[in-house]
Structure 1
Amino acid sequence: MANNQLGVLNALDAAKTQWYHFTAIVIAGMGFFTDAYDLFGISLITKLLGRIYYTNENHPKPGTLPPNVAAAVNGTAFVGTLAGQLFFGWLGDKLGRKRVYGLTLMLMVVCSIASGLSFGKSPAGVMTTLCFFRFWLGFGIGGDYPLSATIMSEYANKKTRGAFIAAVFAMQGFGILTGGIVALIVSASFDHAYKAPPYSVNRKDSTAPEADYIWRIILMFGAVPALLTYYWRMKMPETARYTALVARNAKQAASDMSKVLQVELEAEEEKVETASSSNSFGLFTKEFARRHGLHLLGTSVCWFLLDIAYYSNNLFQKDIFTAIGWLPKAETMNAIHEVYRVAASQSLIALCGTIPGYWFTVALIDYIGRFTIQLMGFFFMTVFMFALAIPYHHWLSNNAGFLIMYSLTFFFANFGPNATTFVVPAEIFPARLRSTCHGISAAAGKLGAIVGALGFLYAAQSTNPEETDQGYPPGIGVKNTLLVLGSINCLGIFFTLLVPESKGKSLEELTGENEEADGNGKQQASSTQTLPV
């Protein structure tokens, strides 16, 4: 490490894995556990909402949400998340990571509870208040992305930094699974076959009176994990990299990290001033564009492309399962049992593909590198999407084979770009812009999620107008939609080439913050600077 590197940062880079690392993973990770529960949990209850609130015989397709309502219920949280990622990402660099960390969590708690208490005198009124609260829930969730990633990267040592950041993100898998388990438990508790099938989804004989409690309980449970970790978030000290390199408080940085690492660290005020003054370009400058412009383009576009495919698949698993006949038709189930079947299907996918993929990344990211994992993930997602799409009609009579192939797309999304697009932006940008740039990259991803969620809603409709949900134009069908998603994943392979490998390097090596100024005020790379600019 260069002589001008701060001792407190050297100590963090070289620190052995300690208890505080695991504490930070759990504290930051529980935010992502809650994020996934809240964002993906809505797909468990959308069918139920249609059967509760849209059973009127005059409704074009009784028992289902109208197209505009379905789009709003699925999409408003993503819009809020995108806004929150940009706002809190910027705020995290301006005020500090810790100062806004608790605010995002409390917003998630309040809005989870409020979503379950959505009210109105008409179905439209209930859906409107639900969408309002889910927008602000998404706003809080959005803040968790740049803040959690940045805090974990700045706390970690350079040897296992990738695994620690990926472990925070991997808590998403447990959040998705827990959402399914909670829905299973709640729906099983209320499931009563009031009348024998066949049911009519537009009649009350298929929807028990207790059904209205189910979706509310499922949504409100999202407040529980967030509440459990609020106190510990508030106890975490500010990261030394923010305190030293951005706030320029060498004494506070040394004091905080002395307690965390349980070693004595010296406050190096002169080095702090040198590091801060010699590397001070802003986001909208030619210097940033020269050094990191392509990096930001790469992280943003890769996340955008990944989320189109990933969120399409996650939010509309129930529709794909219905299309291949793995989920029975609604007419064969009462409304509560339908929730149970949807939850069981999504929980199985989470266990088979989602969770294992996350933890393969955690185990291997610091050995084979971020670049390799992302490239490999996009490649295999492309292969399996095409393998599902091209012989699509074969899979209609082979449900087990479809489930295996479909699970593999999730496995390689999570042992691939879904994890690495979260990790890399927290490593390759300067400390004073790290949270902002991560927020921009994540917001590009959520834009992709919105495109995926709403686009799939329309595109996956049958090409036959008579088989299309009333209010939707004819789509391109599930087969062609899968072909489009496979092509999008293929594009991700090429944009991955813009993203540098960050394995085994300190954050300051990657960003150039250990550079020295020459006599003319220009930057000179230290002897350890290896990243091309």
Structure 2
Amino acid sequence: MARQQLGVLNALDVAKTQWYHFTAIVIAGMGFFTDAYDLFCISLVTKLLGRIYYYVPGQTKPGTLPINVAAAVNGVAFCGTLSGQLFFGWLGDKMGRKKVYGITLMLMVVSSIASGLSFGSHPKGVLATLCFFRFWLGFGIGGDYPLSATIMSEYANKKTRGAFIAAVFAMQGVGILAGGIVAIIVSSAFNHAFPAPPYDQGEIASTVPQADYVWRIILMFGSVPAALTYYWRLKMPETARYTALVARNAKQAAADMSKVLNVDLEAEEDKVVRMSESQTNSYGLFSKEFMRRHGIHLIGTTTTWFFLDIAFYSSNLFQKDIFTAIGWLPAARSMNAIYEVYKIARAQTLIALCSTVPGYWFTVAFIDIIGRFTIQIGGFFFMTVFMFALAIPYNHWKTDNHIGFVIMYSLTFFFSNFGPNATTFIVPAEIFPARLRSTCHGISAAAGKAGAIVGAFGFLYASQDKDVAQRDSPSYPAGIGMKNTLIALACVNAAGLLFTFLVPEPKGKSLEELSGENEAENGETEMQGASSRTIPLSI
């Protein structure tokens, strides 16, 4: 027999869409805007870093970051993000979502500024300092994942909860787009003010001294939107679900949500006391009871996010290398350093504008209509199809049809965002108990960032091919080549599709129905949110 739902939580579940929903989306979403900007803007300037710090006078082509340095610069933030997701996810369940929320934002602001101020008396010193600050930037970004998702899920009503969480995550696409736009503006301004001849015409003259300001300004700009929302994060009340179900403070939960919803809510202290006395839902993360109830679901959320991020971050971080390999971007020798930043940013902005951003908002529009499971299955399926379509006739795309390649490549981004890149973020914030929700989301997200690390380091090495004209050094290890790397990514997407069958469908259910927190003390749990497509569980 089900336990009666707390009135304050029921009020949240059935509330009509109100102004506070949009306020929460903007406040949480600006954190994700900053996350995406900071994580992906580095890919816009890595070639510039090579030209500035690794050019050797007299060499036959512009300076290039050594492969180990490039891997570190691209991947170190993910190492920080993984650590932050685990730490702040756990802390969010122990101290409360609100108390930790401001800490992560300030860490992002400070580290973003510090990254642009990276210093050193020689190139290795500058890059080492940059990697140090980007690790801590990633640490702050990592905390934003479980906290933003959990806060939005606990504020939302059950009818449009998926769209609200998806709208927060959609700001990632806007952040990627903003990174390209900022890079275009900054590089255009500097190229106009400090023009330089192409590399062929004057060796080191192709990289003017002022180019060092370009990458620093681009990286530091990420602190601006985060700083603007800091005050509003501090003013957000703690979520009622944390206050009532975890902190066991019915009076405070009712008071907070009465202000938010503009209604009078009763503080049901007796009911909360009875819930706290019950031992039915007191199991911990590493208990047999948790594994019996939610173990398969945690495996599903972690594995799908892991496979998704291998493909997603590989494709995002190394767009410039893919576009150069097929000849869509001109050879570096034909451009000065700042203009190369402009060309890379323009290409990535075009992809973001035409496929990445629309994919996110398609998810917002349809997730509460067709469900998380269908969107995730469809996304993985089409990502697999388009990756194979890019890889198998790769030589055709490379030599005869650059535009066709870019269109197919764009479609993989569209279906990753109208697909698992959004749903893997949403589902872990819905299906776990309130006292473990942030922790489990952090674990799932950390598994994803482990995939991103595999993608960031693995793709860079695997895609190296001795026959590729833009090889940076004969000392680089030969990988399996771009074609085989794309085939491997297609197989990764196929694995993500299979593991999706371990994940339940939360559409239309309250968080307490999904987690079993409103069940009777002596009743057996049956997870109402589990789709009939999910592997059967005796919970």
TM-score, length basis structure 1:
0.96
Output the aligned Cα RMSD.
1.7
Deviation at 1:106, TM superposition (A): 0.2
AA paired with 2:266?
E
1:432 matched to 2:452: no
Residue type of the alignment partner of 1:408: L
Contact 1:306–1:448 (8 Å) recurs in 2: yes
Q: Kindly indicate whether residue 120 of structure 2 is the aligned counterpart of residue 120 of structure 1.
A: yes
Q: Deviations over 1:270-323 (max 9, x none)?
A: 221333333110000000000100100000000000000000000000000000
- Pairing partner for 1:300 from 299, 302, 313: 302
Q: Which residue of 1 aligns with 2:392?
A: 390
* Residue equivalent to 2:285: 283
Secondary structure, aligned partner of 2:507: coil
Aligned residues: 527
Name 2:223's counterpart in structure 1. Answer: 223
Secondary structure (helix, strand or coil) at the match of 1:449 reads helix
Give the partner amino acid of 1:377: G
How far 1:467 sits from its partner (Å)? 6.6
Change in Cα spacing, 1:64 to 1:283, as seen in structure 2 (3 Å) is same
Q: Separation in 2 of the partners of 1:436 and 1:374?
A: 22
Q: Quick one: which amino acid aligns to residue 521 of structure 2? A: A
Q: 1:346 aligns with which of 325, 345, 348?
A: 348
Query: How far apart in 1 are the matches of 2:249 and 2:265?
Result: 14
Contact 1:468 1:474 in 2 (8 A): no
1:133 maps to which residue? Answer: 133
Cα distance, 1:8–1:195 mapped onto 2, change above 3 Å = closer
Following the alignment from structure 2 to structure 1, what is the Cα–Cα distance between the partners of residues 470 and 348? 25
Q: Which residues in structure 2 correspond to 1:65-144 (within 5 Å)?
A: 65-144=65-144
Q: Provide Cα deviations, 1:299-348, integer angstroms capped at 9, x if missing partner.
A: 00000000000000000000000001110000000000000000000000
Q: Is the 8 A contact 1:90 1:439 kept in 2?
A: yes
Q: Partners of 1:399 and 1:83 in 2: how far apart?
A: 39
Distance 1:262 1:335 in 2: 56
Does 2:421 align with 1:421?
A: no
Tell me if 1:484 matches 2:488.
Answer: yes
1:443 paired to 2:446? yes
Cα distance change on mapping 1:383 and 1:181 into 2, 3 Å: same
Q: Which amino acid aligns with 1:109?
A: V
- Report sequence identity in percent: 76
> Equivalent residue for 1:38?
38
Distance 1:492 1:530, change over 3 A: closer
What's the counterpart of residue 54 of structure 1?
54
**What letter corresponds to residue 330 of structure 1 in structure 2?**
A
Please list the CA deviations of residues 446-470 of structure 1 after superposition, one character each: whole Å capped at 9, or x if unmatched. 0000000100000111144997432
Rounded Cα–Cα distance in structure 2 between residues aligned with 1:510 and 1:171: 26
Q: 1:354 to 1:195 in 2, by over 3 A?
A: closer
- Structure 1 position 205, deviation (Å): 1.1
Supply the distance in 1 between the matched residues of 2:290 and 2:273 (Cα, whole angstroms). Answer: 20
Q: Distance in 1 between matches of 2:68 and 2:248?
A: 50
Paired with 2:217 and 2:334, the residues of 1 have a C-alpha distance of 25
Matched with 1:455 is: 458
Whole-Å Cα distance in 1 between the matches of residues 470 and 150 of structure 2? 47
Secondary structure of 2:328's counterpart equals coil
- Correspondence for 2:534: none
Secondary structure, counterpart of 1:517 in structure 2? coil
Distance 2:113 2:84 in 1: 19
Distance in 2 between the 1:446 and 1:282 partners?
24
Q: 1-side partners of 2:219 and 2:21: how far apart?
A: 31
- Number of the residue aligned with 2:509: 505
Contact 2:62 2:332 in 1 (8 A): no
Deviation at 1:529, TM superposition (A): 4.3
C-alpha displacement of 1:62: 5.3
1:375 corresponds to which residue? 377
Q: Note the alpha carbon deviations across 1:466-493, whole angstroms, 9 max, x for none.
A: 9743242111111110000000000111
Q: Deviations over 1:197-252 (max 9, x none)?
A: 45379x32110121000000000000000011000000000000000000000000
TM-score when normalising by structure 2: 0.95
- After superposition, the C-alpha distances for 1:82-110 in whole angstroms (9 at most, x for unaligned) are 00000000000000000000000000000
Matched AA of 2:403: A
Q: Contact 2:3 / 2:520 at 8 angstroms: preserved in 1?
A: no
> Are the counterparts in 2 of residues 465 and 473 from structure 1 also a CA contact under 8 Å?
no
Alpha-carbon distance in structure 2 between the residues aligned to 1:391 and 1:246? 55
Match of 1:168 in 2: 168
Post-superposition offset of 1:195: 5.1
Does the CA-based 8 Å contact 2:197-2:205 persist in structure 1?
A: no
Assess if the C-alpha contact under 8 Å between 1:114 and 1:133 holds in 2: yes
Give the 3-state SS of the residue equivalent to 2:42 in structure 1. Answer: helix
Match of 1:318 in 2: 320
Quote the Cα distance in structure 2 between the aligned partners of 1:236 and 1:59: 56
| Alpha-carbon distance in 1 for matches of 2:61, 2:104 | 39
Amino acid at match of 1:376: G
- Counterpart of 1:403, as a letter, is V
Mapped partners of 1:163, 1:430: distance in 2: 21
Range that drifts further, 156-165 or 50-59: 50-59
Return 5+ residue gaps in structure 2 as ranges.
531-536
- What is the rounded CA distance, in whole Å, between the counterparts of 1:438 and 1:59 in structure 2? 49
Give the match's secondary structure for 2:327: coil
Q: Which amino acid aligns with 1:307?
A: D
Match of 1:327 in 2: 329
CA 1:90–1:63: 2 relative to 1, 3 Å: same
CA contact (8 A) 1:32 1:175 kept: yes
What CA distance in whole angstroms lies between the structure 1 residues aligned with 2:470 and 2:53? 23
> Matched residues in 2 for 1:2 and 1:284: separation?
25
Could you tell me which residue of structure 2 aligns to residue 267 of structure 1? 267
Q: What amino acid is the match of 1:67?
A: I
* Structure 1 residue aligned with 2:207: 207
Q: CA deviation at 1:443?
A: 0.2
Paired with 2:393 and 2:214, the residues of 1 have a C-alpha distance of 38
For the residues of structure 2 that align with 1:509 and 1:57, how far apart are their CA atoms? Answer: 67
Alpha-carbon distance between aligned partners in 2 of 1:148 and 1:196, rounded to the nearest angstrom = 46
> What is the Cα deviation at residue 196 of structure 1?
4.1
Give, in angstroms, the shift of residue 393 of structure 1. 1.1
Do the aligned partners of 1:89 and 1:147 also contact (CA within 8 Å) in 2? yes
Q: 1:339 to 1:465 in 2, by over 3 A?
A: closer
Judging changes above 3 Å, is the alpha-carbon distance between structure 1 residues 59 and 100 closer, same or farther for their aligned structure 2 residues? farther
Q: Secondary structure at the match of 1:92?
A: helix
Distance 2:489 2:305 in 1: 14
Distance in 2 (CA, whole Å) between partners of 1:381 and 1:3 is 42
